[in-house]
Amino acid sequence: MPELPEVETVCSGLNPVMKNQLILKAEVNRLDLRWPFPPLMAQRLTGTRVIRLRRRSKYILLDLDSDETLLVHLGMSGRVLISGMQAGIFQHENAAPKKHDHVELYMENGARITYNDPRRFGVMDLAPTSKMNNHRLLASLGPEPLGNSFTEPYLITKLKGKTASIKSALLDQRIVAGLGNIYVCEVLFRAHLSPRKKSGSLSKKCISQIVRVIRKVLTEAILAGGSSLKDYRQTSGELGYFQHSFCVYDRESLSCSASNCSGIVKRIQQSGRSTFYCPKCQT
């Protein structure tokens, strides 16, 4: 599921039910996801109050009144669902955990937050809030694509002399944080740019266009509630609907969505990932 717009959607969904709420109980059904959970994670979460929720790149950060921050990454298949509340009435149901429900948080307002992740590429960690910027998973992330420091001059500097394709460069979280395979494909389509172009060969004008398109695509996707592939849902259980706006992603062999283009969407491999693009209008 989760690239920046999906993580942003999850954060917005969690904010009203978690902010300023006490975590009455944390249940941890296994010891690890991609990596082991931090020692005594359930105990360290229980009884703390969530002060605020933030997003950095594809990470969700929950600042707690214990001066620790819970860092959550959804990996490829992680989902967060809210249950236990109906029509403003809070009910504690103790339904048995479903398959791959790895962590559950019971909030003071009756909400139950469930983290489910079949492939377990996700991450959870706890560290002092004051040290989160230096957390090993956050320390070398590039700028937020929707923030002020992601600019045309910045991207020009970063791409200068690079021999890797623009596709690989935009997937590199050290260059810009939060894009994944879907949105990079969509951005390059909308910028009419071939994913195979070497990063260092792009004109200033072209890079400027990339910056604008990244902002536009991500903003639209967030407004749409993210993209729902497989059975990804928002925290509410609803589907996002940006997947209906895909121009190239997962459209191999279909005709190009540009109105004046007769091209056929092609799938190639780049750095081990599928890239979808129209060879005719992305040059």
Partner DNA sequence: ATGGGGGCCTGCCGGC
Partner DNA sequence: TGCCGGCAGGCCCCCA
Distance in angstroms (rounded) separating the CA atoms of residues 64 and 264 = 50
Q: Where in 32-91 is the site for DNA (CB under 7 A)?
A: 34, 57-58, 73, 75-77
Identify whether 252 is a catalytic site residue: no
Residue nearer to DNA on the CB measure, 106 or 246:
246
Element (H, E) at 155: helix 152-159
Count of residues interacting with DNA (CB under 7 A): 41
Backbone angle region of 24, left / alpha / beta, with phi > 0 → left and psi within -120 to 50 → alpha: alpha
C-alpha pair distances (Å), 166 with each of 64, 171, 185, 250? 39, 9, 10, 19
Distance in angstroms (rounded) separating the CA atoms of residues 117 and 13 = 18
Identify whether 58 is a catalytic site residue: yes
Q: Where in 96-125 is the site for DNA (CB under 7 A)?
A: 99-100, 118-121
Name the percent of the chain in helix, strand, coil, to the closest 5.
25, 25, 50
Among the options 152, 273, 279, 280, which is catalytic? 273
Residue nearer to DNA on the CB measure, 73 or 112:
73
196 makes contact with DNA (CB under 7 A): no
Residue nearer to DNA on the CB measure, 152 or 250:
250
206 makes contact with DNA (CB under 7 A): no
Burial (CB count <10 Å: 0-12, 13-18, 19+), residue 223: exposed
Which residue of 15, 46, 173, 245 would you call a contact of DNA, by CB under 7 A? 173
229 makes contact with DNA (CB under 7 A): yes
Identify whether 273 is a catalytic site residue: yes
Q: How far is the CB of 129 from DNA (least distance, A)?
A: 20
Backbone angle region of 217, left / alpha / beta, with phi > 0 → left and psi within -120 to 50 → alpha: alpha
Which region among 1-9, 15-23, 64-72, 208-216 touches DNA (by CB under 7 A)? 1-9
Identify whether 98 is a catalytic site residue: no
Among the options 3, 8, 68, 186, which is catalytic? 3
Distance in angstroms (rounded) separating the CA atoms of residues 141 and 4 = 13
Token output for 182 = 């879907």
- Residue burial 91-103, b: 16+ Cβ < 10 Å; e: rest: eeeeeeeeebbbb
Backbone angle region of 192, left / alpha / beta, with phi > 0 → left and psi within -120 to 50 → alpha: left
Which residue of 130, 163, 219, 236 would you call a contact of DNA, by CB under 7 A? 163
Among the options 44, 58, 79, 190, which is catalytic? 58
Residue nearer to DNA on the CB measure, 22 or 137:
137
Which residue of 54, 92, 216, 230 would you call a contact of DNA, by CB under 7 A? 230
Which residues form the interface with DNA (CB under 7 A)? 1-3, 6, 34, 57-58, 73, 75-77, 99-100, 118-121, 137, 162-165, 168-169, 171, 173, 180-182, 199, 226-230, 232, 269, 271-274
